[in-house]
Structure 1
Amino acid sequence: MYYKGWYHFFYQYNPKGAVWGNIVWAHSVSRDLINWVALETAIQPSIKSDKYGCWSGSATILRDGTPAIMYTGIDRADINYEVQNIAFPKNKSDPLLREWVKPKSNPIIVPEGGINATQFRDPTTAWYADGHWRLLIGALSGASRGVAYVYRSRDFMRWTRVRKPLHSAPTGMWECPDLYPVTVDGRQNGLDTSVTSSPKVKHVLKNSLDLRRYDYYTVGTYNRKTERYVPDNPTGDEHHLRYDYGNFYASKTFYDPVKRRRILWGWANESDTAVDDVAKGWAGIQAIPRKVWLDPSGRQLMQWPVEELEALRGKKPVSLRDGVVKRGEHVEVTGLRSSQADVEVSFEVPSLEGAEALDPALANDAQKLCSVKGADVEGGVGPFGLWVLASAKLEEKTAVFFRVFKAARNINSTKPVVLMCSDPQVIFEPEPLQADVRRLC
């Protein structure tokens, strides 16, 4: 959230080591979303309803400007009995919000009415309309149905569950849900979470699927009268869109009132062993924050690293312009002396006439399509792109590439489909190298 000149970032953290356990809410602040200062722990187990853990949740700025944190607590040792708690700043005049207090009324939401108490967590940022606050809590119904329950409150302290869920699907437990508005006019401006009534607004519902460990979303319509959400694509819950096709999970967005944008944060769970994590001193990283908005087609989101990232660029950029690359050839970009690069690249192809047809069976699975149509598989238009982290004789390289397809028959569009992939190719290393190409246009 943004508060009194500072961006505040809260995250799950073990202060006792780089392994899972002893989870608290860590707290860092920044002026620019790039350079961060770690502060004292914001929330840690201290009351009965969070004695066995302070788990994920969200922050909301109330109508009088007061920040409030809603989070999941565990209050029983024998099972993960999950309840929802609230905390407020001890001193609202402190722009760094160093201290937080928990009212004696906690927990303020408990798993009643047949809810599975061990699968009931991660309250969202709340939105306000018609005299009520609303928020979502992720849950599991039955053996396999993911659910987003709606809770309503007039005072942000006493909450009542809406009879029917906002939405559900047979996809397994829904963790870290997120619901937010986006404009349908193609503009990149973000909207405050409480904007719900404009005809030029759609909503995005995102869930972290516990079974798959990836973040998926749909675009649709939220009706605040019925408290229901309907995806525009009837098969959206089956043919999931993903924010990211790497390790990217438990993400949340927030509205930045300074630059009027919606910013997406996501956790990249590294693939190291526990021994390696302890050796390096951390486990998991936060991906670079991204601005997100709705594509003019209305079918999917667009995203781009926040503009502040450009401040990290060196004073002497390396540039290669107007190069012609023929089929089977490559051009080396020299002058880079770092292990990370911020790359902007534009490709122009002479014609799209030879684009291959997109297999309808793969049209809704970009990751599988990248696997089947890898960097070594020749196509009509592509693959073309970059080799990064490449050794001198190209024995080792990671391809970041594009290919163009004719629209699949089951896609309601005549526009060509552009696929972007990352394809690690390693000969001598036991594990794939990881590309750090952050920007492609």
Structure 2
Amino acid sequence: MYFNGIYHLFYQYNPKGAVWGNIVWAHSVSTDMINWEALDPAIYPTKPFDINGCWSGSATILPGNKPVILYTGIDTQNRQVQNYAIPANYSDPYLREWVKPDNNPLVVPGEGMNASAFRDPTTAWRGKDGQWRILVGSKRKHRGMAFLYRSKDFVNWVQARHPLHSSANTGMWECPDFYPVSLNGKNGLDTSLVGENIKHVLKVSLDLTRYEYYTVGTYFPHKDRYVPDSTSNDGWSGLRYDYGNYYASKSFFDAGKDRRILWGWANESDTAQDDKDKGWAGIQTIPRMVWLDRNRKQLVQWPIKELETLRGKKVQISNQQVRKGEHIEVKGITAAQADVEVTFLLPSLDNAEKFDPSWVNAQDVCGQKGSNIEGGVGPFGLLTLSSKHLEEYTPVFFRVFKAPNKHVVLLCSDARSSSLKKSGLYKPSFAGFVDVDLADGKLSLRSLIDHSVVESFGAGGKTCTTSRVYPKLAVFNNAHLYAFNNGTETVTVESLNAWSMKNAQLK
């Protein structure tokens, strides 16, 4: 949340180890979301209503500039119940201490509900009737549910007769998020805003797939129902914020800069023992600004501007052709810790491979057609975290296919060749399709490379992928970065800007 000029990040944390358990709400503060200071945990198990764990939730800023946290506690009966906490001292700019009043819990699972599948309350929004509303993620058999609760005073909550939304055969809905987006421009909106020129977004984290899905649709305040647009698939094949290692995300309205900020979590792809050995597990990805694309069918994401304060030495490449089989090294930067923006120019699309309409899963297509399998237009892109002789590398690349009435663009981040370590690593080929017009023959890519993570943004942030990788050779000064092309059609690096990135300050 943003409160009085300070960003507060609360996150699930085990103070006793690097694997899941003993969960508390850790607390860090920042003025720019890049450099952080860690404080003592804000919430930890102390009361009967949360003695077995303080799980995820949200923050809401109430009238009078009063922040309140809603969170899921695991009570003495191991039920998931919804609690609240408030600052002990509103004049403390860091809000170090939080109090859990004795009138908790505020919301308990109703009769017939699954008390072990009832969690992660959302940021609240206030209707024109003055009532507050929240969602709680749940499931009924195999149907994912976003239960709706209303309150006049933020203390006494009543369940609505109908969920805000549900979807068959999607399983447990974790970490729901519901917020408005503007039809015009990139500005974010306060969570309570309704009216004309607004769409709404409902995001859920699916426990069964460990991926996140969202729809763009219409919220009907008088009915308290949400209906996805016909262009949003309401299920497992739907839109995703990120087609890689990205889960349990949360957005908030940054009132200081009128933008909506999206936070995501990238867990490890190595073993629990590896995590114990290094003493930590899981990272937050770079905060992203999020807004509605001009086509009104999907969201667009882009790393926050503040990240650019870490940029150091810069190198550039302009108008350089990359022929089939060529690798052009980007020299002069710290390739293990870099920010790279590149625009590729595609002289011709005539030789694009034919698209098979049965290819509905982008990840499967990427798995079949990796970065080394020759295509017509592509694969071309970046080889990140690469060793000098390409024994290991993480390619982030495009491939263009020809469908009857359009071209289909695939963005891949393929970890299969990322490490020489043979066992104990999950090395998937992540991928998503990119809804982009190739009329100008250009495709852009931005990759944030940081030792064990590669976050990539295709076509200005229309499709994003995050990979966790663990090279053995391509580490520190032994990491290299290349632009490459393994397609028969020559592509041109119209412009490439790459920066060495300095370390953020973490206190």
Question: Smaller-chain TM-score range?
Answer: over 0.9
Which of 329, 348, 369 aligns to 2:345? It is 348
The answer on whether the counterparts of 2:213 and 2:236 sit within 8 Å (CA) in structure 1 is: no
Bigger drift between 130-139 and 391-400 goes to 391-400
The answer on whether the counterparts of 2:215 and 2:233 sit within 8 Å (CA) in structure 1 is: no
Partner of 2:412: 421
Name the CA distance, whole Å, in 1 between partners of 2:453 and 2:23: 30
Residue correspondence of structure 1 range 318-397 to structure 2 within 5 A: 318-363=315-360, 365-397=361-393
Name the CA distance, whole Å, in 2 between partners of 1:252 and 1:218: 15
List per-residue Cα deviations over 1:71-95 (Å, max 9, x = no partner). 0111125xx3111101111111221
State the identity as a percent.
60
Which of 71, 74, 87 aligns to 2:85? It is 87
Partner of 1:207: 204
The answer on whether the counterparts of 2:396 and 2:456 sit within 8 Å (CA) in structure 1 is: no
Q: What's the secondary structure of 1:310's corresponding residue?
A: helix
Name the CA distance, whole Å, in 2 between partners of 1:74 and 1:98: 23
Name the CA distance, whole Å, in 2 between partners of 1:253 and 1:171: 22
- Is 2:267 the partner of 1:276? no
Q: TM-score, normalized by length of structure 1?
A: 0.93
The answer on whether the counterparts of 1:24 and 1:41 sit within 8 Å (CA) in structure 2 is: yes
Name the CA distance, whole Å, in 2 between partners of 1:355 and 1:75: 58
Q: Report the CA distance between 1:260 and its aligned residue.
A: 1.2
Q: Report the CA distance between 1:290 and its aligned residue.
A: 0.8
Partner of 2:248: 250
Q: Judging by fraction of residues, say which structure has more strand.
A: 2
Q: Report the CA distance between 1:426 and its aligned residue.
A: 5.2
Q: TM-score, normalized by length of structure 2?
A: 0.81
The answer on whether the counterparts of 2:120 and 2:136 sit within 8 Å (CA) in structure 1 is: yes
Q: Which has the higher contact order (CA 8 A, sep 6+)?
A: 2
Number of aligned positions between the proteins: 429
The answer on whether the counterparts of 1:343 and 1:438 sit within 8 Å (CA) in structure 2 is: no
Name the CA distance, whole Å, in 1 between partners of 2:72 and 2:101: 15
Name the CA distance, whole Å, in 1 between partners of 2:358 and 2:226: 27
The answer on whether the counterparts of 1:342 and 1:437 sit within 8 Å (CA) in structure 2 is: no
Q: What's the secondary structure of 2:187's corresponding residue?
A: coil
In structure 2, relative to structure 1, the CA distance for the partners of 1:156 and 1:318 (3 Å cut) is same
In structure 2, relative to structure 1, the CA distance for the partners of 1:250 and 1:426 (3 Å cut) is closer
In structure 2, relative to structure 1, the CA distance for the partners of 1:361 and 1:236 (3 Å cut) is farther
Unaligned runs of 5+ in 1: none
Name the CA distance, whole Å, in 2 between partners of 1:271 and 1:94: 39
In structure 2, relative to structure 1, the CA distance for the partners of 1:61 and 1:437 (3 Å cut) is closer
After the TM superposition, which segments of 4 or more aligned residues of structure 1 sit over 6 Å from their partners? Answer: none
Partner of 1:266: 264
One-letter amino acid matched to 2:45: P
One-letter amino acid matched to 2:150: R
One-letter amino acid matched to 2:198: V
Q: What's the secondary structure of 1:206's corresponding residue?
A: strand
One-letter amino acid matched to 1:380: G
Partner of 2:146: 148
Name the CA distance, whole Å, in 2 between partners of 1:133 and 1:50: 23
Partner of 1:231: 228
Partner of 2:293: 295
Partner of 2:137: 138
Name the CA distance, whole Å, in 2 between partners of 1:276 and 1:421: 26
Q: Report the CA distance between 1:146 and its aligned residue.
A: 0.8
Which of 118, 122, 125 aligns to 2:123? It is 125
One-letter amino acid matched to 2:116: T
Q: What's the secondary structure of 1:331's corresponding residue?
A: strand
Name the CA distance, whole Å, in 2 between partners of 1:256 and 1:18: 31
Name the CA distance, whole Å, in 1 between partners of 2:399 and 2:259: 30
